[in-house]
Amino acid sequence: MGLLLAGVIAPRGAHAGDPVGTWAIEGTLKTTACARGRCQSQQGNIQDFLVVESDGTFAFGTIPDPSCPSAMPVMGSWNQKSSSKVKLKGENLREWWAAVSLCSGTRIRGRRFRGRFDPDSGTLVVRQPAHATIQGIFVSIRVRGTFLATRVDQSPFGAFTGSARGDVSRSWLGTLRVP
């Protein structure tokens, strides 16, 4: 579906803040787990990719994670209003959390992935609430990432060298100690 610009149908992303393309992202991911009124957080640096397609779909987290071979990108749809800001909505969350659960050894459930991406300023903020039961105790989990994004012309699997995911592993929840 396109945008109506001066009476002409233009393809998605055809205005000033065009989000379509591959974006190298780098920033901080903070995960907070709360149980029995106490919380603990873990934070680390992340390098990865956001791929925004002209058909209204996106993929976030496209670099394979060696510590979690079953992990897959969060995929979903995006919507851009009249401003340059883009809303990202994850749609494969049941499968994504099931894959992460395999790595962590803990069954984790999440229902939402929300992202706000501004291609003009190169900022991306993602939020992903979830929950798990660890040793019979309900644990609330909040994941928040703040990233800077730079448009790249390379394949998402070859632009970064070294540790693609920085110092954060998706599998740390498997060793979570309930406070």
Pairing of strands 74-80, 57-60: antiparallel
Please indicate, yes or no, if residue 161 is contained in any of the structural domains: no
Please indicate, yes or no, if residue 178 is contained in any of the structural domains: no
The residue range of the domain holding 93 is: 17-153
Please indicate, yes or no, if residue 173 is contained in any of the structural domains: no
Please indicate, yes or no, if residue 60 is contained in any of the structural domains: yes
Q: Give me the number of domains the chain comprises.
A: 1
Please indicate, yes or no, if residue 126 is contained in any of the structural domains: yes
Please indicate, yes or no, if residue 179 is contained in any of the structural domains: no
For the domain that residue 124 is a member of, what is the CATH number? 2.40.160
Please indicate, yes or no, if residue 7 is contained in any of the structural domains: no
- pTM to 2 decimals? 0.74
Please indicate, yes or no, if residue 163 is contained in any of the structural domains: no
pLDDT digits (tens, 9 = 90+) for 119-128: 999 999 999 8
Q: What is the pLDDT at residue 1?
A: 35
